[in-house]
Amino acid sequence: MVMAGPSMLSAGWDVLTAAVGVYYWTLRRAYGVLLSRGAIYLDPTGKQVLDEAGARERAARDAAEAHRATLATVVQHSDDAIIGLNPEGVITAWNHGAERIFGYVADEVIGRPGAMLADDPGGRHQRDTLDRIRHGERSISYEAQRLRKDGTPVDVSFSITAITDPAGAVIGISVTARDVTAAREAAERHHAITERTHQAQRMESLGKLAGGVAHDFNNLLAVIANYTDFALEQTAGQTEVQADLWQVRAATDRATNLTRQLLTFTRGDAIQPQHVDLNGAVIEIRDILGRTIGEHITLIARPSPETLTVHIDPGQLQQVLLNLTINARDAMPDGGTIVLEAGMTSLDGDELAMQPALPAGAYARLVVSDTGHGIPPEVAAHIFEPFYTTKPRGKGTGLGLATVYGVVTEAGGGINLYSEPGIGTTFRIYLPVVGSTERSDTITPAQRTASPPGQGRTVLVVEDEAPLRRVVARILTGGGYHVRTAANGAEALDLFGQYGADIVLTDVIMPEMLGTHLAALLQAEHPDLPVAYMSGYSNGLLGTTHILDDDIVFIEKPFTASDLLTKLAEAWPEQRRPSSRGRGPGG
Does 408 lie in the same domain as 306? yes
Does 327 lie in the same domain as 363? yes
User: Could you read off the pLDDT of 58-78 as tens digits, one per residue?
Assistant: 766 766 566 565 655 655 666
What pLDDT, on the 0 to 100 scale, is given for residue 586? Answer: 36
Does 541 lie in the same domain as 393? no
Does 198 lie in the same domain as 165? no
365 domain-assigned:
yes
Q: Give residue 481's identity as a one-letter amino acid code.
A: Y
What pLDDT, on the 0 to 100 scale, is given for residue 260? Answer: 62
Q: Which of 218, 223, 309, 311 is CA-nearest to residue 262?
A: 218
- The pTM (predicted TM-score) of the whole model is 0.47
Does 434 lie in the same domain as 321? yes
What pLDDT, on the 0 to 100 scale, is given for residue 289? Answer: 81
Indicate which CATH number applies to the domain containing 405: 3.30.565.10
68 domain-assigned:
no
What pLDDT, on the 0 to 100 scale, is given for residue 504? Answer: 95
61 domain-assigned:
no
Q: Which of 153, 158, 154 is CA-nearest to residue 143?
A: 158
Neighbours of 212 (CB within 10 A): 13
Coil, strand or helix at 367: strand
What pLDDT, on the 0 to 100 scale, is given for residue 542? Answer: 52
What pLDDT, on the 0 to 100 scale, is given for residue 442? Answer: 35
* Distance between CA atoms of residues 515 and 565, nearest Å: 19
What pLDDT, on the 0 to 100 scale, is given for residue 464? Answer: 86
What pLDDT, on the 0 to 100 scale, is given for residue 483? Answer: 93
Choose one of 179, 211, 228: the last residue of a domain: 179
504 domain-assigned:
yes
Q: What is the 3-state secondary structure (H, E, C) of 445-490?
A: HHHHHCCCCCCCCEEEEECCCHHHHHHHHHHHHHCCCEEEEECCHH
What pLDDT, on the 0 to 100 scale, is given for residue 484? Answer: 94
171 domain-assigned:
yes
Does 433 lie in the same domain as 457? no
245 domain-assigned:
yes
Does 522 lie in the same domain as 401? no
Q: Where are the beta strands (DSSP E) in 102-138?
A: none
What pLDDT, on the 0 to 100 scale, is given for residue 47? Answer: 61
* Distance between CA atoms of residues 579 and 398, nearest Å: 55
Choose one of 439, 470, 495: the last residue of a domain: 439
Neighbours of 50 (CB within 10 A): 11
Indicate which CATH number applies to the domain containing 455: 3.40.50.2300
Asked if 433 contacts 363 with a C-beta cutoff of 8 angstroms, the reply is yes
Asked if 482 contacts 508 with a C-beta cutoff of 8 angstroms, the reply is no
**Domain of 524?**
445-570
Does 281 lie in the same domain as 163? no
Q: How many domains are contained in the chain? A: 4
pLDDT < 70 stretches in the chain? 1-9, 14, 20, 22-52, 57, 59-60, 62-78, 192-193, 195-216, 218-219, 222, 257-271, 352, 382, 386-400, 436-451, 536-551, 557-560, 573-587
Q: Cα 197 to chain center, whole Å?
A: 18
Indicate which CATH number applies to the domain containing 150: 3.30.450.20
Does 396 lie in the same domain as 300? yes
Does 432 lie in the same domain as 291? yes
Choose one of 242, 265, 288: the last residue of a domain: 265
72 domain-assigned:
no
Does 555 lie in the same domain as 449? yes
Parallel, antiparallel, or unpaired: how do β-strands 153-164 and 170-179 relate? antiparallel
538 domain-assigned:
yes
User: Could you read off the pLDDT of 139-158 as tens digits, one per residue?
Assistant: 888 888 888 888 888 888 89
Does 253 lie in the same domain as 207? yes
* Distance between CA atoms of residues 426 and 408, nearest Å: 16
What pLDDT, on the 0 to 100 scale, is given for residue 69? Answer: 58
Asked if 389 contacts 397 with a C-beta cutoff of 8 angstroms, the reply is yes
